[in-house]
Chains A and B, each alone.
Chain A
Amino acid sequence: MLSIKDLTIEYSSGGYVVRPIANLSLEAEAGQLVLLLGASGCGKTTLLSVIAGLLTPASGSVTVVDTEVVGLSGSALTQYRRHTVGVVFQAFNLLAALTASENVQVPLRAAKWSKAKARERAEELLATVDLSERMHHLPGDMSGGQQQRVAIARGLAHDPPVLLADEPTAHLDYLQVEGVIRLLRNLADSGRLVVVATHDDRLVPLADQIVNLTPRADTTEREPERVELAAGEVLFREGDHGDLVYMIDEGEIDLFRERDDNSEELLLRATAGAYFGELAPMLGLPRSATARAVGKAVLTGYTLRSFRKHVGGPTAGSLLEGAADAHDAAEV
């Protein structure tokens, strides 16, 4: 149903290349409720945009019901957006001027359905989401939960096999959340693949598969790891996840960022005795720069705890300060 292979998503921000998703692979089947979990900025919504055919990834493939999404264009892309995926946006994104019924009719009318047929289908869908009574109300006259259900009904207009929902519980109170969660679960149970991007862990017990896009740092204590690098060899890349802090024993390491014009901006040439890479394991963020050996280099990789012991027990705050001073704000 959904197959994602080696997906890397990049975009440009402030002149730099940002890579929120790197080498992600994922498989999901019809009838599953898949949760994309993670902190803000980890790429959940970006991943949904790619599955919805709204964003082109840097590399990798996304196959939805035998359709390779990457590379679709023109009418094939329009047909894909209309018939294969339904999308429920964060903040509902209903058209304020249209009634609940008219909002649901939009994708149908866009696909040249007759007015009467589209109205009939909208009524049927709104009944499914228990909104028959609010059919002719404007979004402004409905509660957040009702608007969210209208948005779900709109997403189901063409009876797509895949429904994508972005933070469907973000603007709802707990009573409304319950209704929306139950609805999403029922939609999955009826044979549809439902992919939900959220940071709301109340959905976790109902999910068939959870994809954590912010992997927690490995806190397992282990012995420091000796790493030998040849000249030009890359230790880690920007966007990678990592759980080790590195100290240079011999040689030099370049820490640089990729600019969107394919050039590199050198942030720091770290020499023997310097350390780097502490923020990714400390804050659970992806690496924000690439580390590459200038010549032959020898490093030791420490877990956070063992690194603190090794350098004399600095606090997290002093590590952050040290990082800022030593790396000229190159928080890697």
Chain B
Amino acid sequence: MFYIGWRDLQFRRRRFIIAILATSLVFAIALILSGVSGGFHSEISRSVDSFGAGGWVVPASAAGPFSNSKVFAPEDVASAIQGGGKVSAMAMARVPHGDKDVMVFGVEPGGIGPKATSGRDARRSGEVVVDESLGLGIGDHLELGKRFEVVGTYSGRTIFAGSPTAVITLADAQKLTYAGQPLASALLTERLPTTVPAGFKALTNAGAEADLGRPLKQATGTIDFLRVLLWLIAVGIIGSIVYMTVLEQTRDFAVLKAIGVQGRSIFSGLVTQAVVVSVASAAVAALLTLLIKGFVPLNTEISTGTYIALPIIAAIAGVASSLVGLRRAVGVDPALAFG
């Protein structure tokens, strides 16, 4: 008896179109939030991966390489590390640039660290490799306390939800941050070390990612919470439309039961309507998202999996929302048909 639900859907199409539009807007916002959340996570992974390190050594009291404020003499620590392969020191500084902060990493030329994808790496003092989001090209200059020349660029290596990064030599970073003292905030190793000196710890890339994600934890938590709320709103919209339909069709359901249609057949009609509205909303939402995405200032990354999951989740939400009207529709007294 699916066709009864389907034909009713066609008959009341104006109402269902309004419901689909409203629900698709909610779904689209949920998708955008998923994209923002996904953007945060992939930004973190991408940035950590760009260092090409197999392990990170930091003071034991530090949460990780990106939040550590305790500096140390890298040579002493590096010599005590075992099983890590090649070791490079890293210094880090946050430098204001216009309305943004640039996260500047100082790495040893030729050592482990982010590489330029266009141009070349910084080899000498006064050279910098920048993320393209800074809007600079090779040959341009960047003011970081002193004037640096851009010799290379890369893209998509931002941190903290869009702050661009730049890479200079370790010596320049030490001058910028530690008044030229030979200090570092972390050591990058080729592999995860088996032994580190007392007072230090070794982190995997996952540990480094967790550290980089710490400042965004509340933001991502809030986004996830809002996403759940939006799903509930979408279910609420579909549920209320289905429930209103049930209220209006109480007499029809009574007639159907009176002429021998079983309760489960009536329910299947309701499920058809709810699932069609949900899946159609998901499809419209996917199109809307493609249009809206470009206007969102934050990096928004929606995976294909999310687009595929949306109609499936929407269909489940549709079935759940149709349960709202189930009891009333199935429990209707067939004698009402005579009323």
Name A residues whose Cβ lies closer than 8 Å to a Cβ of B: 45, 48-49, 52, 54-55, 78-79, 81-82, 87, 89-90, 93, 95-98, 102, 106-107, 109-111, 138, 154-155, 157, 166
Interface string of B10-39 (1 = CB under 8 A from A): 111000000000000000000000000000
A-side contacts of B8, CB under 8 Å: 95, 97
**A-B pairs with lowest CB-CB distance, top 6:** A97-B11, A82-B260, A97-B8, A110-B261, A81-B260, A54-B335
B-side contacts of A157, CB under 8 Å: 259
A-side contacts of B337, CB under 8 Å: 54, 87, 89, 93
CB distance from A282 to the nearest CB of B (A): 29
A-side contacts of B295, CB under 8 Å: none
A107 touches B12 (CB 8 A): no
Q: Which of B62-70, B129-137, B156-164, B249-257 is found at the contact surface with chain A?
A: B249-257
Complex-state Cα separation, A129 to B1, whole angstroms: 25
6 contacts between A and B (CB under 8 A): A45-B338, A49-B335, A54-B258, A93-B255, A95-B256, A110-B265
Complex-state Cα separation, A275 to B265, whole angstroms: 57
> How many pairs of A and B residues are in contact by the CB < 8 Å rule?
71
B259 touches A81 (CB 8 A): yes
B251 touches A96 (CB 8 A): no
User: Given A81-B258, A110-B265, A111-B260: A93 and B251 within 8 A (CB)?
Assistant: yes
Q: How large is the interface on B (under 10, 10 to 19, 20 to 34, 35 or more residues)?
A: 20 to 34
B260 touches A78 (CB 8 A): yes
CB nearest to B6 among chain A residues: A97
CB distance from B273 to the nearest CB of A (A): 11
B251 touches A106 (CB 8 A): no
A97 touches B7 (CB 8 A): yes
B-side contacts of A82, CB under 8 Å: 259-260
B-side contacts of A93, CB under 8 Å: 251-252, 255, 337
Interface string of B222-260 (1 = CB under 8 A from A): 000000000000000000000000000001100110111
Complex-state Cα separation, A138 to B12, whole angstroms: 13
A-side contacts of B258, CB under 8 Å: 52, 54, 81, 87, 89
CB nearest to A109 among chain B residues: B1
CB distance from B226 to the nearest CB of A (A): 37
CB distance from A138 to the nearest CB of B (A): 8
A110 touches B11 (CB 8 A): no
CB distance from B212 to the nearest CB of A (A): 56
CB distance from B63 to the nearest CB of A (A): 62
A-side contacts of B256, CB under 8 Å: 95, 106, 110
Q: Does residue B4 face the partner (Cβ distance < 8 Å to A)?
A: yes
Complex-state Cα separation, A251 to B193, whole angstroms: 111
Q: Does residue B334 face the partner (Cβ distance < 8 Å to A)?
A: yes
Complex-state Cα separation, A52 to B4, whole angstroms: 23
B-side contacts of A111, CB under 8 Å: 260
Contact of B255 among A95, A109, A138 (CB under 8 A): A95
Q: Does residue B262 face the partner (Cβ distance < 8 Å to A)?
A: yes
User: Given A102-B7, A106-B261, A110-B260: A54 and B334 within 8 A (CB)?
Assistant: yes
